[in-house]
Amino acid sequence: MEEKYNKILTKIEEADGIIIGASNGLSISEGIHIFAENEDFLEIFGDFRENYGFRSIIQGCFFPFPSEEEKWAFFSRMYNYFLYRDEASPVMKNLHELVKDKNFFVVTSNIDDHFSQAGFPMERLFEIEGNCRNLQCSHGCCDQIYPGDEVLSKMAEQQENGKVPLDLIPTCPNCGGPMQVHIEVDRNFLRDESWQRSYQAYQDFIENAYGKKLVLLELGVGARNQLIKAPLMKLTNAEIHATYITLNKGRELYIPDAIAAKSIGIDGDIAKVLQQLVEMK
Ligand SMILES: [Zn+2]
């Protein structure tokens, strides 16, 4: 096992570029599980479960709330839950420590803002499905994303009986219509200018890495994931000097035969693996 860890550290050290691909499994290793009806969910979102019957944060994200007061009670509480800690988790700190001096780029479907929180700069971050801190017009009347921290914190704080005060409910500065959190829960999701810029930065990073020593570091991305995993595997296959490193648990750890010779997989708790790597660095 130690040999594997050393190999990963050497590959990272020697890399000209590192692409970090992260999904739900990374959040789970931090203790946040948006698909689970776990202790946190019951404690923090139990009243929603009782009132509407949904059994996980992700189900709440897709739930058709009967009113804006109830919708924002949920989304502001989710915001608060993701970001209530003042500092990044040990998992994210270790990940940052591992790559901070390298030329890296992050692509993630996580919406919890934990990469920014850990010090990963926005210009090296592509959040494909948005971020729970930002707001957009539900009608998509304009190509604009708004920072939501202030109003989301207030709504999280001042809600009662699963409803936020009417005067706190955000409305679109442009058309006056309803707003929603800028995460991909429906077809309204705006791929605005900032989203396009991040997408382009990701494409540019890949292009610049052409022919160089590239490490694709995949963290907690499911075996059949098409959004992040499939493109990373394809890139590994296409790039002569690429190394594919994947950290996941059990059956979710998947390396196809075509890229097996260029790949290193570790089956285990991502939190522990990252800790170990940082200790050995
Ligand atoms: Zn609008």
CATH at residue 269: 3.40.50.1220
Distance from the alpha carbon of residue 141 to the mean position of ligand 1, in angstroms? 4
**Within 13 Å and on the Cβ side, how many CA atoms surround 145?**
20
| Binding-site residues | 137, 142, 172, 175
Q: Does residue 12 have a pLDDT over 90?
A: yes
Give distance in angstroms: CA of 33 to centre of ligand 1.
32
| Average pLDDT of the segment spanning 232-258 | 96
Distances 200 to 21, 108, 124, 235 between C-alpha atoms, Å: 16, 14, 11, 16
CA of 220 to the centre of ligand 1 (A): 36
Q: How many CB atoms lie within 10 A of CB 24?
A: 20
CA of 171 to the centre of ligand 1 (A): 8
DSSP for 108-165 reads: E---S-HHHHTT--GGGEEETTEEEEEEEETT--SS-EEE-HHHHHHHHHH-BTTB--
State the distance from the centre of ligand 1 to the C-alpha of 253, rounded, in angstroms.
Answer: 42
Average pLDDT value for residue range 127-155: 96
Q: 175-201, pLDDT tens digit by residue?
A: 999 999 999 999 999 999 999 999 999
Total tally of structural domains belonging to the chain = 1
Binding residues for Zn(2+): 137, 142, 172, 175
Centre of ligand 1 from the C-alpha of residue 195, in Å: 18
CB atoms within 10 A of CB 151: 19
Phi, psi of 224 (to 5 degrees): -105, 15
Report the separation in Å between the CA atom of 109 and the middle of ligand 1, taken as the mean of its atom positions.
25
> CA of 236: how far to CAs of 14, 128, 196, 207, 214, in Å?
16, 20, 24, 13, 8
The encoded tokens of residue 257 equal 């035969």
Instruction: Quote the mean pLDDT of the chain.
Output: 96
Q: Of the candidates 171, 82, 87, 97, which has an alpha carbon nearest to the alpha carbon of residue 127?
A: 82
- 153 pLDDT tier (thresholds 50, 70, 90): very high
How far is the centre of ligand 1, averaged over its atoms, from the C-alpha of 181 (Å)? Answer: 13
Q: What is the pLDDT of residues 202-227, one digit of tens each?
A: 999 999 999 999 999 999 999 999 99
- For residues 73 and 100, give the distance between their C-alpha atoms in angstroms, rounded to a whole number: 36
- Kindly indicate the confidence band of residue 86, based on its pLDDT and cuts at 50, 70 and 90: confident
Query: Is the pLDDT confidence value at 90 over 90?
Result: yes
For 16-66, what is each residue's pLDDT tens digit?
Answer: 999 999 999 999 999 999 999 999 999 999 999 999 999 999 999 999 999
Domain residues for the domain of 50 are: 2-280
Cα(267) to centroid(ligand 1), Å: 46
Q: Is the pLDDT assigned to residue 85 strictly greater than 90?
A: no
Using alpha carbons, list the distances in angstroms from residue 40 to 35, 82, 260: 12, 11, 38
